[in-house]
Structure 1
Amino acid sequence: MDVDKHILTEALSAILGVTVKLQSDCKDLDGAIKLQIANLTTLALLKNEALAVQPELFVISDDFFDPSFDFDFTNMSELKSDECMRGDEPYKRPYGWMRFTLKVRDKYPDGNAWLGTGGWRSRSAPGEWPVSYHGTDLQGAAGIIQSQYTAGDRQAYGRGIYSSPDINVAYVFAKTKNLISQKNGKTNKVIMQNRINPKKREIKNKDIWLVPIPEGTSAEKEKEIVESSIRPYGLLLKKV
Structure 2
Amino acid sequence: MPFLTSALLNRFGVGTTLRAYAIASALLTIPPLFLLRDRPTTSSSSSNSTSSTTSPRPTGTVSFAFARHPTFWILQFGNVLQSMGYLMPSTYLASYANALGFPSITGPVFLALISLASVPGSLLIGLLNDTGLAATTVILISSVGSALPVFLLWGLGGHQVAVLVVFTLLYGFFAGGFSSTWSGIQRELQSRDGAADTGLIFGMLLGGRGLGFVLSGPVGGALLEVNCLKAQDFSGYATQYGPMIIYTGFTATLGAWGWFWTMGKRAMAAL
TM-score between the two structures when normalised by the length of structure 2: 0.22
Larger radius of gyration: 2
TM-score between the two structures when normalised by the length of structure 1: 0.23
